[in-house]
Amino acid sequence: MDPISYYLQTALNGVLAGCVYALFAMGLTLIYGVLNFVNFAHGELIMWGAYFLFLFMGEPFGLPLYAALPPALALTGCLGIAMDFSVFRHIRRANRLTLLIAAMGLSVFLRNAAQFFWGAEVRTYGLEVTAGMRILGLTLTTPQIAIIAVTILCVAAVYVLFFKSRLGKSMRALSDNLDLARISGIDTKRAILAAWVISAVLAGIGGILLALDTNLSPEMGVINLIKAFAATLIGGVGNLWGALLGGLLIGLAENLGVLFVSPSYKDGIAFVIMVIILLARPYVIIGERSD
Partner 1 sequence: MKKLAALVAVIAVVSTAAAPPARAADTIKIGAAFALSGSIAVYGEGFKKCVDLAVEEINAKGGIKGKKIEIVYEDNKSNPKDCVTAVRKLITVDKVPVIFGPAGSSNFMATAPVAQENKVVLISAQGAAVGLTRAGDYIFRVFPSDTLQGPHLAKLAMSKGYKKVPVMYVNNDWGLGLKNAFVDAYKKMGGTVTDLIPYDEKKTDYRTELLRASKGNPPAIVNLTYINEGAVQFKQAFEMGIKTQWLCGSAARAPKMVELAGKAAEGVIGTYPSVPQNTKAYQAFKEAYKKKYGDDKIPIFGDYNYDMVYLTAKAIEKGGYTADGIRKALPQVAKGYKGVTGDKTFDDERSPKYAEYGIWTVKDGKIEDYKK
Question: Which residues in this chain contact partner 1 in the complex, by CB under 8 A?
Answer: 1, 6, 9-10, 13-14, 16-17, 120-122, 124, 128-132, 134, 139, 141, 210, 213-215, 217, 219-220, 223, 255, 258-259, 262-264, 266-267
CA dist 291 and 285 (Å) reads 14
For the CB of residue 159, give the shortest distance to partner 1 in the complex, in Å. Answer: 27
**CA diameter of the chain:** 62
Nearer to partner 1, 10 or 188 (CB): 10
- Rounded distance between C-alpha atoms, residue 7 and residue 15, angstroms: 12
What is the closest distance, in whole angstroms, from the C-beta atom of residue 255 to partner 1 in the complex? 4
Query: Residue 201's Cα: distance from chain center in Å?
Result: 9
Other Cβ atoms less than 10 A from the Cβ of 63: the count is: 16
Amino acid present at 262: S
Distance separating alpha carbons of residues 221 and 49, to the nearest angstrom: 10
Residues ≥6 apart with Cβ < 8 Å to 102: 87, 88, 91, 94
Report the nearest approach of partner 1 to the CB of residue 178 (Å). 37
> Smallest distance, Å, CB 154 to partner 1?
20
Peptide bond into 282 cis (omega under 30): no
Q: Which is nearer to partner 1, 15 or 35 (CB)?
A: 15
| Nearest CB to partner 1, comparing residues 95 and 264 | 264
**Which one, 221 or 235, has the nearer CB to partner 1?**
221
Pairing mode, if any, of strands 138-140 and 133-135?
antiparallel
Residue number with CB closer to partner 1 (93 or 134): 134
- Give residue 5's Cα distance to chain centre: 29
Q: Give, rounded to a whole angstrom, the gap between the first and last alpha carbons of the chain.
A: 43
Q: Least distance (Å) from partner 1 to the CB of residue 45? A: 17
Work out how close the CB of 141 gets to partner 1 at its nearest, in angstroms, rounded to a whole number. 5
The residue (of 187 and 213) whose beta carbon lies closer to partner 1 is 213
Q: How many CB atoms lie within 10 A of CB 127?
A: 11
- Is the CB of 147 or the CB of 191 nearer to partner 1? 147
Taking the complex as a whole, the smallest distance from the CB of residue 164 to partner 1 amounts, in Å, to 34
